Structure 1
Amino acid sequence: MQSIPVDTTRLGVLRCAIAPEAKLVNTETKEVKRDRGGNPVWTVAVTVRQDGRRISVIEIAVSGQPKGIEEGQTVKVTGLTAFAWAIGDRHGISFRADAVTPVPAGPVHTKGGDA
C-alpha cells in the first residue's frame, strides 16, 4: 500500500459528519479492530470541501476513542495519511490519522452590542 501524507491546511473547514464509531473486524461478533499496539481502532466520518461548493465525506481511522466529538462539530485532524489500496478488481483510498480532536467554539458576537 502506498501512503500519501495529506496537508490538512489545504482542506478548509473539517466537520464531523458521523460521530466516532468503533471499527469492527466482524459485524456478527462485534469484534473491534486493533492496531499494531493493541489499541482499538475508531472511525470518524468527516466532511471535506474540495472546491467551491462540492463537499465529500471521508472516513478517517484513528487509534483509541476520540473524545468530545459530536456530529456537525468542527474538528482538527492531525497526521492525516491517505493509503491507496487494491484487492482483486476493487480499489480505493483509505485514510488514517494520528488524532481527530474537537475545535472549541469561538465566542459568540452579537451585532450592535448588548440587547
Structure 2
Amino acid sequence: MQSIPVDTARLGVLRCAIAPEVKYSNAETKEIKKDRDGNPVYTIAVTVRQDGRRISVIEIAVPGEQKGVVEGAEVRVTGLVAFAWAMGDRHGISFRADAVTPVTPVTPAKNGGVA
C-alpha cells in the first residue's frame, strides 16, 4: 500500500467534526486496534474547507489519545498521509496522521468550566 504525504497547509481550515473515538479491530469482542508500537488507535472525523462553501469530512486514524480535541474546535494535523485501498469491488482512501491537536488549547476556567 503506497502512502501519499498530504500538505495540510493547502487544506484550508480543519475542524474536529467528531471527537476522538477508539478504533476496534474486532467490534464484537471490543478488541482495541493497536499500531506497530502497541499504542491504541483512535479515529477523528475532521472537516476540510478549502474555498467557498464546499466542505469534506475525512476520518483520520491517529496513535494514542489526542488530548484537548473537541467537536467544533479548529485543529492542526501533523504528518498526514493518505492510502489508496481496494478490497474486491470496494475501494477508497484512508488517512493516518502522527497527531491531531487543537489550534487553541482548551483551558479550564476558574469556576471549573471551560474557558
TM-score under structure 1 length normalisation: 0.88
Is 1:32 aligned to 2:32, yes or no? Answer: yes
Instruction: Give the unaligned 5+ runs of structure 1.
Output: 106-115
**In terms of Rg, which structure is larger?**
1
Shift of 1:33: 0.3
Q: CA RMSD in A?
A: 1.0
Specify the alignment match of 2:87 in structure 1: 87
Instruction: Give the unaligned 5+ runs of structure 2.
Output: 106-115
The residue type paired with residue 18 of structure 1 is I
1:44-55 paired onto structure 2 within 5 Å: 44-55=44-55
The residue type paired with residue 69 of structure 2 is I
* Mapped partners of 1:87, 1:61: distance in 2: 19
Specify the alignment match of 2:98 in structure 1: 98
Identity %: 79
The residue type paired with residue 84 of structure 2 is A
Aligned length: 105
Shift of 1:2: 1.6
Q: Deviations over 1:32-62 (max 9, x none)?
A: 1000111100010000014421101000000
Shift of 1:89: 1.2
Q: Deviations over 1:51-98 (max 9, x none)?
A: 421101000000001001110000000000000001111100000001
Asked if the contact 2:63–2:98 (Cα under 8 Å) also holds between the matched residues in 1, the reply is yes
Asked if the contact 2:62–2:97 (Cα under 8 Å) also holds between the matched residues in 1, the reply is yes
* Greater CA drift, 23-32 or 38-47: 23-32
- Runs of 4 or more off by more than 6 Å in structure 1? none
